[in-house]
Chains A and B, each alone.
Chain A
Amino acid sequence: MSLHPVEPDKLWVIAARGGDRDAFRMLVEQNQRDVYTLAVRLVSDCHLAEDVAQETFVRAWRALPNFRGDSAFSTWLYRITVNTAWTHRGRQKRHRHADIDDVPAIADETRRHNPGHLDETLHLPEALGEALNSLSAEQRMVVVLKDVEGWSHSEIAELLDITTGAAKVRLHRARRRLRTLLADVDW
C-alpha cells in the first residue's frame, strides 16, 4: 500500500475545521497574498481591499465547518473573496489614489472637460488602470473575473446570480465602455 502525500493546505484545513485557530492562522498566512490581490483587482482600492480580505477570512472561518473539500481550499476562498467584494461594492468610491497598477492621478479639471474619455497624455497601461476604475463596480467585476482571472461566463453568472447571457452582455458592454474610455489615449 502506498501512502499518498497530503497537501499541506488540507492538513491545516482539517485542523481549522475542528476549531484550531493556529491552523487557521497558517491558512490565512498562506493565502493572504492571493486573497488581497484579488480584492484589490475587484474593488480598486487598497483600503477597501484590506477590509474585503479581512471579511473574507472571517467568513471563511465561520463557514469552514460546511467546507466539504469538493474544490481546493484556495478556490473556495476565492469565491468567498468575490462574494465579499460584491457585497462591499456599495462602499466603493471613485478615487484618485488607486494603488492598482500605480496609476497616476488624473486632474478633475481634465475629467470635467472631457467626461467620457481619459487624459490623452496617459499611456495605455496607466490609462487602462484608470479606465477600469471608471467602470461601475458591476462592470469592473465581470471584466476582472473574465479577462484577468480567466473565469468562464457560466462561473461568473453563477456567482453574480444572473444568467450566462446576462453575464455575456455585461462583459460586452464593459469591454466597449473600456474601449470608449481609452479612445483618446496615446497608444
Chain B
Amino acid sequence: MNLDRIGAAAASRTYQLRCKGVRMLLPEYIGSSAPLPESIATHLSSCLVCRVEADRLRQVAELLADGRQSSWTPPSTLVDAVMARLDEKVESRFMGRLVVAGAVALGLGVVVAVVATKRSSAVSTAQFDS
C-alpha cells in the first residue's frame, strides 16, 4: 500500500472518491497535521455516513492526544530498585565474564585432552603394527 501515492491521487480534484476509498484514507488525515485533500472534504460535505465516521476518528484522535496530559505515579520503590540494580549489574557482568572464561578454558582443556588421547592411541597402533 503506497499511502503517499493514494494521498496524492486523493488530492487531485479530478479523482472522484467513493465511501470505501474515503474511509480507507480518513485515518491518514484525521488527527494529523496533514491538510484534508479537497476531494475528501467535498465527499464529506455530501455524505453523512462518512462524516460521522470522520467525527468518530476525530474523537479517537482527540482522546489519544488528551492522554499526553495524564501521568502515572511510579512505584515508591523504583528509585531504590534502580540503584540496587546498578550494583547487581556490575557484579553479575563480572560473574558472567568469569563463567564464560571458565567455560572456554574447560572446553579448550577437553579438546586438548581428546586430541592428545587420539594421538597417543595412533602412535601405539603404529608401533604395534610395525
Asked whether, in the complex, the Cβ of B3 is within 8 Å of the Cβ of A25, the reply is no
Complex CA–CA separation, A49 to B73 (angstroms):
11
Is A182 engaged at the interface, CB distance under 8 Å to the other chain?
A: yes
B64 neighbours in A (Cβ, 8 Å): 128, 143, 147-148
A175 neighbours in B (Cβ, 8 Å): 27-28, 57, 60
Asked whether, in the complex, the Cβ of B74 is within 8 Å of the Cβ of A33, the reply is yes
Task: Tell me the nearest residue of chain A to B2, going by C-beta.
Answer: A165
A28 neighbours in B (Cβ, 8 Å): 78-79, 82-83
Is A74 engaged at the interface, CB distance under 8 Å to the other chain?
A: no
Complex CA–CA separation, A24 to B2 (angstroms):
46
Is B85 engaged at the interface, CB distance under 8 Å to the other chain?
A: yes
Complex CA–CA separation, A77 to B60 (angstroms):
28
Asked whether, in the complex, the Cβ of A33 is within 8 Å of the Cβ of B71, the reply is yes
Asked whether, in the complex, the Cβ of B3 is within 8 Å of the Cβ of A172, the reply is yes
A124 neighbours in B (Cβ, 8 Å): 59-60, 63
- The 0/1 profile, CB within 8 Å of A marked 1, for residues 41-78 of chain B is 00000000000010011011101110110111111001
Asked whether, in the complex, the Cβ of A58 is within 8 Å of the Cβ of B89, the reply is yes
Shortest CB–CB separation between residue A91 and chain B, in angstroms? 17
State the majority secondary structure of interface residues on A: helix
- The 0/1 profile, CB within 8 Å of B marked 1, for residues 166-183 of chain A is 001100100110110010
State the majority secondary structure of interface residues on B: helix
Mark out the residues of chain B between 103 and 117 whose CB falls within 8 Å of any chain A CB in the assembled complex: none
A147 neighbours in B (Cβ, 8 Å): 31, 61, 64-65
Q: Which range holds the interface residue count of chain A?
A: 35 or more
Complex CA–CA separation, A29 to B64 (angstroms):
27
Complex CA–CA separation, A25 to B1 (angstroms):
47
B27 neighbours in A (Cβ, 8 Å): 172, 175-176, 179
A150 neighbours in B (Cβ, 8 Å): 65, 68
Name 10 A/B residue pairs within 8 A (Cβ), A-sorted. Answer: A28-B79, A28-B82, A33-B74, A41-B67, A124-B59, A147-B64, A148-B64, A150-B68, A175-B57, A175-B60
Chain B contact residues, CB within 8 Å of chain A: 1-4, 24, 27-28, 31, 53, 56-57, 59-61, 63-65, 67-68, 70-75, 78-79, 81-83, 85-86, 89
